[in-house]
Amino acid sequence: MKMFPHPLRFAATALVLALLAAFSTHGQAGAATSQSVENDHTSLSLIAASEGVGDAKTLMLGLHVKLKPGWKIYWRSPGDAGYPPSIDWTGSVNLGNAVMQWPAPHRFSVLGLESLGYKDEVVYPIKLVPTKPGSAIRAVANVDYLTCNDICVPYQAKLTLDLPAGQASPSQHAHLINRYAVQVPGDGAAHGLSLDTLEVLGRGKTARLRLTASSKTPFVEPDAFFEGPDILAFDKPRVEMKNDTRKVILTAKIYGAEDLESADGLKGLNITVTLSDGDRFGERTLEVIQGTTAGNGGDISLAVILALAVLGGLILNLMPCVLPVLSIKLLSIVGHGGGDKRDVQASFIASAAGIIFAFLMLATALVALKSGGLTIGWGIQFQQPWFLIAMTLIITLFACNLWGLYEFRLPYWMSDLGARTGHIHGLGGHFLTGCFATLLATPCSAPFLGTAVGFALARDAADIFAVFTALGLGLALPYLLVALFPGLATRLPRPGRWMITLRKIMGFALAATGVWLLSVLSGAIGLSVGMSVGALMLGVIAALYLGHRVDRLWQVGGTGLAVLALLAFAAPSLLPNAEPGARMLDKDPRFLELWQPFDEAAIPGLVASGKTVFIDVTADWCLTCQVNKAFVLAKDDMLERLGNDNVVAMQADWTLPDDTIAAYLASFGRYGIPFNAVYGPGLPNGFALPELLSHDTVVNALDQATATAATAATAATAAN
């Protein structure tokens, strides 16, 4: 027999080996793997951890996916877009069941969209249960999957893997499958992780989830992925470290909660939570409980919150919000000079009762709005044009009364126990004055008040009423103090002609408050409406003056008042182009080039690039916001600091209702303004500043936010 020469023999052998290798890659499965199905973006194969079936009742397979650079495939909950791979096992032999497992995913954030999945390479472990253990298996996997980069491309692949009967010795793929199997989250105990509680804060469009987790070793880069009903979506959580980074609180916004049929919202739902921290993972299904925005994990009791509410209400007396009602408070005191102590006590108790009653009415309105799934918050009544018009009308009537244009007799049941008083300050009048003062004092927040309101609005109706009663008690404490020590008022000079002059001056102070309310109205729905309502209020003054002069107050003044009031309330609907155009963030020329429109989705990218972000949530009706601007933000050194190239200053205008801004405030446990926050490499999750700003507070927060960026920049310079 003629043999090939040695070189030819070598070439023939190489050719045979190459053909065998090609067959094993592209042909029928062998060596514990299926054929490989390749396309422009991915390569798929089905692999097994053992060479044969053996006597095992459970076998491990793996769907092995290799992706081209930049392309990704999805986790079981893909996030804001995409869908996960699925396998149909039709055509398989001796396959009783196959359960696909999901390694902990990676988070991809693109243009504000969050998606969860894998890049480069992944193996989805599959637990296979044969119908007849010990017999050969043919696994036919019909795979439907989606891969995305700048575009998304759906694919289908059919993979066939044969596992013969015989010894189940480990295959060459066993280590690869195991490497991804250990990334499938368990209960977290093996990694020292504990998923403790899952709370819901707020309702409807402002709802968010708060996960509390702990670890035996410090957390490094914690993240959480939430899975609930299909109508819900969850944003990337905000991370807050506690207890030397061994405790973490992750708070995520919820989208779609307003569409839940349950009256209790998310409370009682079961949500699956996957916690990741580097190469540590844990997973647990938790029942959602009602949470509180006060403290972390709801560790502040209701008693403490009620004490904070009383203190916050008391401090509210010292806030700029009281300026519009200063005349009312002043006249309440000086009008009792030389008077009877019992009268003083009764009148101030009536005013305190009016304050508490007004807070209960606010609580009732907020409970009703919350039950309807609408946005709620402190001072939101100033976002409503009809409320502003009503307050302007009441202010006008109060001012006219102080000017002596009319005398008003209250109904018997609201009067001074039957005593005929010529002015509005009988017991019923003092009660109404307390109500009125409360409504005008609510456009702003105060220290401790934000914590109390945040706690209340995240809880049930009973807690809302309890907290708002405590707030009213705090605001009413000065009135109760005078009632307790009536000599504070009776020792003042008796009212005389000087009192008439003081009343007129206080009337002009109230008129200035009316002008301020009209400016808020103009900013909210247009200058034409504001000017028209202002003209109608002048008409009210003229009608009351004319009725007073001709001594036919109710025939002339009353009729004119009724007609002009109706026209004022109809103005927003009757006047064309009532809705304002694009609102300027800040009309002060010093701020025109400073502020950028608020864009929460852009903040993570700016921080990642080393920028510091300063957030200012304000409104035309927020007097404390204007005080913060005048005494802190508008100072030359602060303008220079905020105008630095490395600082991005964003402003959100909450003059009108805005669900996005309301949800943003709620993510910090706040329901009122002013609100300011600072982000940066040193504060990536944001740091909320106090309601009342100080120069040092803002500077320290900016320094802390930029500290990491400055260190990195110094290191980069040294490296170059």
Tell me which H or E stretch contains 26.
helix 6-26
Q: How confident is the model at residue 22 (pLDDT cuts 50, 70, 90)?
A: very low
> Are the CB atoms for 97 and 129 separated by under 8 Å?
yes
What is the structure's pLDDT at 469? 93
Query: Cα dist. 34→13, 107, 172, 419 in Å?
Result: 25, 30, 13, 99
Choose the weakest-confidence range: 22-36, 383-397, 417-431, 545-559. 417-431
Task: State mean pLDDT over 526-536.
Answer: 88
Q: What are 401's two structure tokens?
A: 């009364």
Say which residue, 670 or 327, is predicted with more confidence. Answer: 670
Choose the weakest-confidence range: 428-437, 608-617, 622-631. 428-437
Give the separation between CA 239 and CA 221, rounded to whole angstroms.
9
Give the separation between CA 486 and CA 346, rounded to whole angstroms.
10
Give the separation between CA 619 and CA 655, rounded to whole angstroms.
4
What is the structure's pLDDT at 333? 66
Which residue blocks in 403-460 are alpha helix, DSSP H?
A: 427-440, 449-457
295 has pLDDT over 60: no
Say which residue, 710 or 355, is predicted with more confidence. Answer: 355
DSSP 79: E
Which residue blocks in 192-321 are alpha helix, DSSP H?
A: 302-316
320 has pLDDT over 70: no
Comparing CA positions, the residue from 179, 154, 158 lying closest to residue 71 is 154
Assigned fold of 189-290? Immunoglobulin-like (2.60.40)
Give the separation between CA 691 and CA 319, rounded to whole angstroms.
11
Q: Tokens 């008003």 belong to which residue? A: 408
Average pLDDT over the chain reads 81
Q: How confident is the model at residue 715 (pLDDT cuts 50, 70, 90)?
A: very low
Give the separation between CA 455 and CA 295, rounded to whole angstroms.
9
663 has pLDDT over 50: yes
* Per-residue model confidence as pLDDT tens digits over 362-395: 889 888 877 766 666 777 777 788 888 988 888 8
Question: What is the bridge-based pairing of β-strands 595-597 and 647-653?
Answer: parallel
415 has pLDDT over 50: no
> Are the CB atoms for 254 and 232 separated by under 8 Å?
yes
Phi-psi region of 70 (alpha: psi -120 to 50; beta: other; left: phi over 0): left
Q: What are 189's two structure tokens?
A: 């105990």
What is the structure's pLDDT at 262? 63
* Per-residue model confidence as pLDDT tens digits over 332-363: 666 665 567 787 788 889 888 999 999 999 88
CATH number of the domain located at residue range(s) 589-719 in this protein: 3.40.30.10
CA dihedral sign of residues 407, 411, 416, 420? positive
Ranked by mean pLDDT, the top range of 70-74, 385-389, 433-437, 481-485 is 70-74
Give the separation between CA 608 and CA 151, rounded to whole angstroms.
24
Q: What are 269's two structure tokens?
A: 């739902």
- Report residue 269: phi and psi, to 5°: -70, 155
DSSP 50: B
406 has pLDDT over 80: no
3-state secondary structure of 113: strand
Question: What is the bridge-based pairing of β-strands 289-290 and 193-201?
Answer: parallel
Give the separation between CA 206 and CA 235, rounded to whole angstroms.
12
Q: How many CB atoms lie within 10 A of CB 490?
A: 17
Comparing CA positions, the residue from 692, 716, 720, 689 lying closest to residue 705 is 689
Q: How confident is the model at residue 21 (pLDDT cuts 50, 70, 90)?
A: very low
Q: What are the domain boundaries of the chain? A: 24-181, 189-290, 302-574, 589-719
Comparing CA positions, the residue from 56, 17, 57, 20 lying closest to residue 170 is 56
What is the structure's pLDDT at 716? 36
CA dihedral sign of residues 299, 470, 444, 570? positive
Q: What is the DSSP string of 638-688?
A: HHHHHTSTTEEEEEEE-SS--HHHHHHHHHTT--SS-EEEEEETTEEEEEE
- The answer to whether domain 24-181 and domain 189-290 are alike in fold is yes
Q: How confident is the model at residue 587 (pLDDT cuts 50, 70, 90)?
A: low
Span 24-181 CATH architecture: Sandwich (2.60)
* Per-residue model confidence as pLDDT tens digits over 502-527: 778 878 878 888 888 888 888 778 78
* Per-residue model confidence as pLDDT tens digits over 79-114: 888 899 999 999 999 999 999 999 999 998 776 678
> Are the CB atoms for 524 and 580 separated by under 8 Å?
yes
Q: How confident is the model at residue 492 (pLDDT cuts 50, 70, 90)?
A: low
pTM of the model: 0.58
What is the structure's pLDDT at 482? 82
647 has pLDDT over 50: yes
Give the separation between CA 239 and CA 251, rounded to whole angstroms.
7
What is the structure's pLDDT at 332? 64
What is the structure's pLDDT at 357? 93
Task: State mean pLDDT over 437-456.
Answer: 72
What is the structure's pLDDT at 718? 38
